[in-house]
């Protein structure tokens, strides 16, 4: 079977070229054609030796993902649905802002973590994406969105789409390397963010292998509530997670961790809970910023968005304690592209969805939850 060259970072491609009897500089040329020029046809890679093009034609392909749909929001946010086969489709979102363009990339078809407020989690889990399927999302958006003079618009990538990236570690790390590589997309480490629900051991591995910016989905100030909202918390707990964050910061390209906090009405949005957060991060001396995310309700969640004034009051408690806190703007919600709304199409093979619904039935998180 032909090898998909999108599955390789530059070292992997160099090893593949070596297996064809080709020198490393050929791999660099090939890598630049594939990622910087967006070329898939070896015959059009004009400065590659004809002999190499001949070898590649039989042994390799550059396999893009078929695009099922593209939706553009009134605010310019663009969402693509990509077919990854087997009845599964994943979503990728481009968010234009005044000073930057951010691409939100998926790492799995579905997600097995099952966070209570997350639309992807409610879809269940089918499978991990390959490195090629992850990087194909960026490659497509990069070349689709380039301006008429070839100017680039994506300068920020966040692994915050469908899936828990650190549960697909072996595919995600080479994809990150392609994003960072000057012969690939040349993104700064500070502008590539992995967002995790908090897998302690994998945060440590990422620190060693490919430290990029880190966002942690915290969503609760204590274990009792976090266990109910983010079930993976039951494995390590918040204290161990904060320890991992402290270790990560030593190697990270930014000197802080971003804590994501989805604001759920009557669940985690009280001023006392903000104060509890302040005590938590101060006691552990974790350099951090908070990003408060307005919840995007979907029917199955049974949860509601915190009123604006409650979010502002929550932010004020954190800000008054000297913690940099932002409230995320809702973008693309008219096309279901806002945070936590990505659902794609997932053939749930692991009963993840069933487990989530069962947990929801047996562990109510607050009186505020509407047990539909
Ligand atoms: S928030 Fe992230 S980790 Fe949690 S279920 Fe959704 S995709 Fe998975």
Q: What is the pLDDT, as a whole number, of residue 364?
A: 61
Q: What is the pLDDT, as a whole number, of residue 283?
A: 93
Residue 289's beta-bridge partner residues? Answer: 258
pLDDT digits (tens, 9 = 90+) for 320-350: 999 999 999 877 777 676 666 666 778 877 7
Annotated binding site: 111, 115, 118, 163-164, 195, 217-219, 296
Most confident of 36-45, 110-119, 250-259, 326-335: 36-45
Q: In angstroms, rounded to a whole number, what is the distance separating the alpha carbons of residues 318 and 311?
A: 11
The count of other CB atoms within 10 Å of the CB of residue 24 is 14
The residue whose C-alpha atom lies closest to atom 5 belonging to ligand 1 is 121
Cα–ligand 1 centroid distance for 154 (angstroms): 24
- Which has the higher per-residue pLDDT, 80 or 332? 80
Band of the pLDDT at 361, cuts 50, 70, 90? low
CA-based radius of gyration for the chain: 21
pLDDT digits (tens, 9 = 90+) for 202-250: 999 999 999 999 999 999 999 999 999 999 999 999 999 999 999 999 9
Per domain, the residue ranges of the chain are 3-61, 67-362
3-state SS, residue 63: coil
Element at 168 (helix H, strand E): none
Q: What is the dihedral of CA 322, 323, 328, 329, to 10 degrees?
A: 10
Q: What is the pLDDT, as a whole number, of residue 26?
A: 96
Query: Is the fold of 3-61 the same as that of 67-362?
Result: no
Q: Which residues contact 306 (CB under 8 A, 6 or more apart)?
A: 263, 264, 265, 269, 294, 295, 314
| Burial call 132-145: b when 16+ CB within 10 Å, e when fewer | bbbbbbbbbbbbeb
Whole-number percent of the chain with pLDDT over 90:
80
Q: What is the pLDDT, as a whole number, of residue 354?
A: 75
Cα–ligand 1 centroid distance for 110 (angstroms): 9
Q: In angstroms, rounded to a whole number, what is the distance separating the alpha carbons of residues 317 and 360?
A: 30
State whether the beta carbon of 90 lies less than 6 angstroms from ligand 1: no
CATH code of domain 3-61: 1.10.150.530
Substitution candidate for ligand 1 out of 105, 107, 114 with most atoms within 8 A of CB: 114
Q: Is 345 a catalytic residue?
A: no
Q: Is 288 a catalytic residue?
A: no
State whether the beta carbon of 197 lies less than 6 angstroms from ligand 1: yes
Q: What is the pLDDT, as a whole number, of residue 358?
A: 73
Q: Over 60: is that where the pLDDT of 365 sits? A: yes
Q: Over 50: is that where the pLDDT of 370 sits? A: no
pTM of the model: 0.93
Closest CA to 85 of 350, 343, 347: 347
pLDDT digits (tens, 9 = 90+) for 118-137: 988 888 899 999 999 999 99
pLDDT digits (tens, 9 = 90+) for 156-201: 999 999 999 999 999 999 999 999 999 999 999 999 999 999 999 9
State whether the beta carbon of 163 lies less than 6 angstroms from ligand 1: yes
What is the average pLDDT value for the chain, to the nearest integer?
92
Cα–ligand 1 centroid distance for 119 (angstroms): 8
Q: Check if the beta carbon of residue 310 is closer than 8 Å to that of residue 263.
A: yes
Cα–ligand 1 centroid distance for 339 (angstroms): 10
For helices 10-19 and 24-31, give the axis angle rounded to 10 degrees.
Answer: 130
Architecture of domain 67-362: Alpha-Beta Barrel (3.20)
pLDDT digits (tens, 9 = 90+) for 268-300: 999 999 999 999 999 989 999 999 999 988 888
């Amino acid at each position: 079977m032909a090898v998909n060259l999108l599955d390789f970072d530059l070292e992997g491609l160099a090893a593949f070229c070596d297996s064809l009897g080709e020198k490393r500089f050929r791999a660099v040329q090939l890598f630049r054609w594939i990622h910087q020029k967006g070329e898939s046809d070896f015959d059009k890679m004009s400065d590659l030796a004809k002999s190499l093009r001949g070898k590649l034609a039989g042994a390799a392909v550059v396999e893009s993902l078929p695009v099922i749909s593209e939706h553009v929001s009134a605010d310019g946010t663009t969402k693509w649905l990509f077919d990854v086969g087997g009845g599964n489709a994943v979503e990728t979102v481009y968010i234009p802002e005044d000073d930057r363009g951010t691409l939100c990339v998926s790492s799995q078809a579905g997600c097995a973590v099952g966070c209570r407020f997350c639309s992807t989690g409610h879809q269940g889990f089918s499978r991990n994406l390959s490195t090629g399927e992850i990087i194909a999302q960026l490659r497509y958006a990069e070349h689709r969105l380039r301006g008429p003079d070839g100017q680039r618009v994506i300068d920020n990538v966040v692994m915050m789409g469908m899936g828990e990236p650190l549960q697909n570690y072996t595919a995600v790390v080479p994809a990150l390397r392609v994003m960072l590589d000057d012969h690939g997309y040349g993104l700064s480490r500070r502008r590539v963010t992995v967002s995790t629900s908090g897998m302690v051991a994998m945060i440590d591995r990422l620190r060693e292998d490919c430290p990029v910016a880190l966002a942690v989905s915290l969503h609760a100030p204590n274990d009792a509530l976090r266990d109910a909202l983010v079930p993976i918390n039951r494995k390590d707990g918040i204290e161990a997670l904060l320890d991992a964050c402290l270790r990560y910061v030593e190697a990270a390209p930014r000197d802080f961790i971003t804590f994501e906090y989805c604001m759920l009405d009557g669940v985690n949005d009280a001023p006392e809970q903000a104060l509890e957060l302040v005590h938590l991060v101060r006691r552990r001396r974790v350099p951090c910023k908070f990003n408060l995310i307005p919840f995007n309700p979907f029917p199955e969640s049974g949860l509601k968005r915190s009123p604006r004034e409650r979010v502002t009051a929550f932010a004020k408690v954190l800000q008054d304690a000297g913690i940099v806190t932002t409230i995320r703007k809702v973008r693309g919600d008219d096309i279901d592209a806002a945070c936590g709304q990505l659902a794609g199409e997932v053939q749930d093979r692991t009963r993840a969805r069933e487990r989530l619904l069962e947990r929801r039935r047996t562990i109510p998180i607050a009186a505020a939850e509407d047990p539909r």
